[in-house]
Amino acid sequence: MASERHEREISMATDGRFEGRVVAIRGAVIDLAFDYKLPSIEDAVEIVDSDGRAVVAEIQAHLDSGRARAIALEPTTGLRRGDRARSAGGPVTVTVGEATLGRLLDVLGRIGDRGPPLPADAPRWPIHRKPPPFSAQTGATKLFATGIKVIDLLAPLAQGGKAAMFGGAGVGKTVLVMELIHAMVESYQGISVFAGVGERSREGHEMLLDMTQSGVLARTALVYGQMNEPPGARWRAPMTALTIAEFFRDERHRNVLLLMDNVFRFVQAGSEVSGLLGRAPSRVGYQPTLADEVAALHERIASVGDASVTAIEAVYVPADDFTDPAVTTIAAHVDSMVVLSRAMSAEGMYPAVDPIASSSILLDPLVVGEEHVAVATDTRRAIEHYRELQDVIALLGMEELGAEDRRIVERARRLQRFLTQPFAVTEAFTGVAGRSVKVADTVAGCKAILAGQCDEWHESSLYMVGTLEEAREKEDAARAAERRPAEAPA
């Protein structure tokens, strides 16, 4: 018996797999005992219950020389002490490549769209990979035009960069991300990978339908770790999406657009996992490894050679508190910050992007040109001056302002309205067709308003339009209606 066991241990050591058993289960936390050798941290373990169902977990801690603690990536219902566990000999691997395009996958790379199974010969990559070395990375200085005026003017995105949409509940983060997807249909011909992290099933269904109708699903891979899934699944879903994106960047040399909604749920899932593992919480109850986890995710988003991974992330801001540790940690890693304002949303200024708080490292004369930077700076200055005077206006009215202040305020109000625009993804609700505006038209329109060319226009003529020419047509129509004699009463 001893010799047979020794031979079995040698064979398991040779292929990197080790057998063990479950000794304790507490929700998503599973303690495992191994007779020969412990699997490495972040290695996958497959646990088989009495019915033959396999549950995949990931090793997160070594308790002693013979026991390890794992976090389940699937529901643990039906597991019990004594169930067999088998190490995978490495991290979780998922299918990558062309087979994933047009498909909806979970954190383990399994299909969730009721379509045909993925081909058995498709390549598989581990979800934990090192970021490309700094010497191999290329800088992100090419403008990534979105067609959304306020973003292109004040917080331009970089191809191969990282952009984040920060906002509280209900201010339009998901709508903005969906509009960006829609805007890329015409101009962007690369691969898209969407990671739905901790979002509602309804939002995932809407996203799938929208992508199908807009025709981008054929070159998009969808990875979901939904709100009703265990914290381990939500925690690792972005890694699965990143792995698929890296394959197209490194092996196919294709540009990849990586969309994540919502990165805060990734942090939240990590906090849940940390608590389940018994780690002492850090600031505001977050995990002590918060900075490491966010860095591990963002450092893999990079351009290598002639191919890039461009990340656009939605980030929920809890209770509209922009000093929250999760928000500030994520903000430290992004190139462009698009901040959504609840006050602007309440005023009906959509997209509700705060022109003062939003910023981008690409707003540089060497990247976008001196005229663009000058117009963006003057636009911010005018809107900031208007905000400073809002209390005075509310108390005393516009009449109490000096001539110069009044002119700046009127132009700032027109600029705010010009920076709104209807979205294609909201057309079904508003009945207004979406607009996509070129960067040059956006800069020219704001420059004209700052120069006073629209001082005599109605403010409503600039609201929810595309280019300044469209606003001019709206103004001409309004003037014509005013000149038209009123119909005599019957």
DSSP state of 22: E
Which segments of 340-457 are extended strands (E)?
Answer: 359-360
In angstroms, the CA 405 to CA 398 distance is: 9
Helix (H) or strand (E) holding 294: helix 290-298
In angstroms, the CA 129 to CA 125 distance is: 9
| 187 closest CA partner among 162, 138, 153, 152 | 152
Q: Does the annotation count 162 as an active-site position? A: no
Q: Under DSSP, is residue 106 helix (H, G, I), strand (E, B) or coil?
A: coil
Number of residues that make up the chain: 490
Residues 204 and 374 sit within 8 Å (Cβ to Cβ): no
Q: Catalytic pick from 200, 252, 370, 400? A: 200
In angstroms, the CA 211 to CA 220 distance is: 8
Q: Catalytic pick from 103, 173, 249, 414? A: 173
Q: Does the annotation count 200 as an active-site position? A: yes
Q: Under DSSP, is residue 484 helix (H, G, I), strand (E, B) or coil?
A: coil
Percentages helix, strand, coil for the chain (3-state, rounded to 5) are 40, 20, 40
Q: For residue 261, which amino acid is it?
A: D
As annotated, the active-site residues are 173, 199-200
